[in-house]
A and B are shown apart, each in its own frame.
Chain A
Amino acid sequence: MSGVRLAVRQLRYEQLAFWRNPPAAFFTFAFPLIFLVIFNLVFGNETIEVDGGSTKASTFFVAGIAALSVVNGCFTGLAMALSILRDEGVLKRVRGTPLPPWAYLAGRIGFNTLLTLLLIAIVVAVGALFYDVDVPTSTMPAFLVTVVVGAATFAALAFAVSGFVPNADAAPAVVNGVVLPLLFISDVFIRADSAPGWLNGVAAFFPVVHLSSALQVAFNPFETGSGFEPGALLVMAVWGVFGVVVALRFFSWEPRR
């Protein structure tokens, strides 16, 4: 069997196992929706200034929660899953078979990417149905490309960070400790307009704000162009390459002793 077919086959087993754990699956899907509902309850009637005019706050939230879903699904979720699989010896066992390592990892990344796309589709649909969100059509390709680039970047970073997580028990603390502060300063939940300049500078160094701002642009109803943000995509790609390099050096298939 070719490597690609093996990867696709692996992806199918990953999703089979995922749905067998209903509480985990339920909250994976509920999490972004809970955020969407809360934000709209609190700020739903406000309008927000974007390039070209003002729009409903709910439109802003949908793009932000799409960014959150990418980070959550491809970084937080993947890094934790890798730590658990490593501690349980699943990764070591797979390494002892002729399955090419990249095919296994591609299956894992592919599954998390598809899961993220599904999550975002649900968030957008709920936003459109219940919160009157304008779903753009001309910039939809840019929106999807940004999601996929973001998914690849954050998956690579998940592999990199898992190399520094000592064990599965420490994974939530380490991973959330890295990612939650970044989410708060990166225009995901709130617009950091009033934040000090240096804080925005810190945020601009990391990839999260580039993902959320690119998604905002692609979701802006006043956007007249294609909605692509080459600069933001480039920053994400650089971080993705960095993640791959670090992962190649530090990623471990075996539990730490």
Chain B
Amino acid sequence: MTPRRIGAAAVGLVLLVVLVVSDIPLGRVVVDGTLNGSVIALVALGIAVVYKSTGVLNFAQGELGTLPAFLVLLVMMGFDLNGTVDPEAISGWDMLGYLLLAVAIGIVLGVAINGLVIRRLVDASPVISLVATAAVFFLMVGFEAVVFLPQVRTFPRFLEGAPCLESEAGECIRQFQLFGSLVLWHAIVVVAVLAVVVVLLTLLFRTQVGVALLAASQEPFAASLSGVSPRAMSMLAWGIAGGLGGLAGVLGAGVFQQLFPGMVTRDLLVLAFTAAVLGGINSMPGAVVGSILLGVTSSLTNEAALTFDVTGWIPNPPMAAAFAVLLIVMVVRPRGLLGREA
């Protein structure tokens, strides 16, 4: 173990020196990475909750975000599929209402998937359950494509319609500088929502219900002897995952300012899986830590690629970095940073 640690420390030191010597703006990297990682974390938390309590790898977690976002968009457009949304006209409180609506829709979807599909496959192998969630994913994307057509729609951000903060020069400010990074109010809302979610989940696992959920995931038979219903716990886990999906859908669509069928899956799901493995797939704090680390890694790779001018021959450096990080974690610490030994 010791030579490995020395090696890791040496590699870390070399990287640190390279980073400090190069003119990569580290402050911006950390700020941007944390903001991007927060969106990934909402998806990764949903994956971790379901995996931890039911042992199912949920391929549909991304669409538990996209579909509520689409339905909320439908409400914003006044149930007119050809309508448009004026982001300026939506106040922060309205947006909060839409966010809660998305959470409610997500919970309904999650509970429905659990009841209609997952509960019937309790005895099936993990591969069968994974394929079933993949089929649910295709159903949801298909539904989105049929109803909302395969086209890109604009999606509003938080606080775009909020009153401007007047600067001294009298301009309207809707974003502010932090370590050289232009931070949108929307990103601050994302981080705040993530913080609230983490606090709520922590509190939940202090209550009897939360302990029952953990018990059912660790030792289902013993838990059922103590009066914990595995069915109810599965429903609870999928409900939580659905609610988290709703948050990820509306906030993620806001970050990209657009929405199209399958969007959260395409842009966030794979990163969230990577982050979940990075943090430890059976650990919820791990999902958050892994996501933020992955976010920082992505923005670092982006800045590094720009600084060292390699964007020409390495397409999409953040994705390459994500895969490299995953391989390194699988080699060095397969249970993830905060995961327990399987």
- Say if A and B assemble together: no
Residue numbers of B with Cβ under 8 A of A are none
